[in-house]
Amino acid sequence: MQTLTILAAEEGHELNPLVPHPIEMVLSLVVFGLLFFAVKKWVVPNFEATFSERTSAIEGGLAAAETKQAEADAKLAELDRQLSEARHEAARIREEAREQGATIVAEMREQAQAESTRIVEHGKAQIEAERQQAVTSLRAEVGSLATGLAGRIVGESLDDEARQSRVVDRFLAELEGAN
């Protein structure tokens, strides 16, 4: 046993580690070759597919987000526009209402003015007409009364129409002149 160990050690000392073992040389190439083909066929395509899928998913997500953002921006602008339109509309309506109110007030005032004027005019006309009527009837009455009275006093018939009216008129004119 002792000699065997020493022999082995001597053998080991002799062995040049740079000299390759032929079986190991072949084995290394075969094993690595198998690993290479297996990896090339079943591992690398999977990783590459995952990477590219992930890249496109991220890019797609970004594009979708951009679209959404643009849509939201457009919607916001639209709403803003509608809001400002509504504000304008409201202001316009208010303005219109104010104008209309003013117009109505003015019209009403005008109408009332006209009405009052009309009523006053009407009253005046009526008064004038009544006065005319009174004057006319008074004149006729006063004439006949005075004629009658004078006829009685002077005893002279004044039935002659023309003279009678002339006398009366003169009388009345004098009367008015005295007024």
112 binds another protein (CB under 8 A): no
57 binds another protein (CB under 8 A): yes
Q: How far is CA 54 from CA 12, 47, 59, 74, 134, in A?
A: 55, 10, 8, 30, 116
Instruction: Judge contact between 135 and 176, C-beta under 8 A.
Output: no
65 binds another protein (CB under 8 A): no
44 binds another protein (CB under 8 A): yes
Q: How far is the CB of 69 from another protein (least distance, A)?
A: 23
Instruction: Judge contact between 153 and 144, C-beta under 8 A.
Output: no
Q: How far is the CB of 33 from another protein (least distance, A)?
A: 8
Rg (CA), the chain: 68
7, amino acid identity: L
64 binds another protein (CB under 8 A): no
35 binds another protein (CB under 8 A): yes
Region near another protein per CB under 8 A, out of 28-36, 105-113, 119-127, 147-155: 28-36
**What DSSP string runs through 124-147?**
HHHHHHHHHHHHHHHHHHHHHHHH
- Chain residues that interact with another protein, rule: CB under 8 A: 1-2, 5-6, 8-9, 11-29, 31-32, 34-36, 38-40, 42-44, 46-51, 53-54, 57
